[in-house]
A = this chain, B = another copy of it.
Amino acid sequence: MIAPRNTPAPTRPRAEVDEIAAVVDAVRVAAPLTQCLTNSVVTGFTANVLLAVGASPAMVDSLEEGPIFAGIADGLLINVGTVNAATVEAMLATAASRAAAGRSWCLDPVAVGTLPVRTKLARDLLEYRPDVVRGNASEVLGLFGETGAGRGVDAGDDVDSALDVAARLAERTGGVVAVSGEIDAVVSAESPTLRIASGHQLMTKVTGVGCALGAIVAAYLPVARTPHLAAAAATAALTVAAEEAARRAAGPGSFAVELLDALARVDSETVTANLDLR
Q: How far is the CB of A167 from chain B (nearest CB, A)?
A: 29
Chain B residues, Cβ within 8 Å of A26: none
CB contacts under 8 Å to B, within A122-163, are: 151-154
B residues in contact with A210, CB < 8 Å: none
Q: How far is the CB of A65 from chain B (nearest CB, A)?
A: 5
Report A254-278 residues with CB < 8 Å from chain B CB: 254, 256-262, 264-265
* Minimum C-beta distance from A34 to chain B (A): 9
Partner of A207, one of B57, B69, B151: B57
Closest CB in chain B relative to A158 CB, distance in Å: 17
Asked if A29 is an interface residue, CB under 8 A from chain B, the answer is no
| A257, B75: Cα distance in complex, Å | 28
**Which residue of the partner chain, among B43, B62, B85, B257, contacts A41 with CB atoms under 8 Å?**
B43
Q: Is A16 an interface residue (CB 8 A)?
A: no
Q: A82-B62, A151-B56 are in contact. Are A68 and B207 (CB under 8 A)?
A: no
How far, in angstroms, from A260 to B249 measured CA to CA in the complex? Answer: 12
**Could you say which interface size class chain A belongs to?**
35 or more
A39 at the interface (CB under 8 A from B): yes
- Smallest distance from the beta carbon of A157 to chain B beta carbons, Å? 15
Q: Is residue A180 contacting chain B, with contact meaning CB distance below 8 A?
A: no
How distant is the Cα of A48 from the Cα of B259 in the complex, in angstroms? 15
Within 8 Å of chain B (Cβ to Cβ): is A116? yes
Q: How far is the CB of A70 from chain B (nearest CB, A)?
A: 12
Establish whether residues A207 and B56, one from each chain, have CB atoms under 8 Å apart when the complex forms. Answer: no
Residues of chain B lying within 8 A (CB to CB) of residue A253: 48, 52, 256-261, 264
A171 CB, min distance to chain B CBs, angstroms: 30
| Chain B residue contacts of A251, Cβ below 8 A | 52, 260-262, 264-265
Report chain B residues within 8 Å CB of A152: 33, 56-58, 60, 73
Chain A interface (Cβ < 8 Å from any Cβ of B): 33, 39-45, 47-48, 51-52, 56-65, 68-69, 72-73, 81-86, 90, 111, 114-118, 151-154, 205-208, 249-254, 256-262, 264-265
A–B Cβ pairs within 8 angstroms, 22 of them: A33-B151, A40-B59, A41-B47, A47-B208, A48-B252, A51-B205, A51-B207, A52-B253, A56-B151, A56-B153, A57-B207, A58-B152, A60-B82, A62-B84, A62-B117, A64-B117, A73-B152, A86-B86, A251-B265, A254-B257, A254-B258, A257-B257
- In the complex, given contacts A48-B253, A62-B117, what are 14 additional A-B residue pairs having Cβ atoms less than 8 angstroms apart? A40-B61, A41-B47, A44-B208, A48-B256, A59-B81, A60-B82, A60-B111, A62-B85, A68-B115, A68-B116, A251-B264, A251-B265, A253-B256, A256-B257
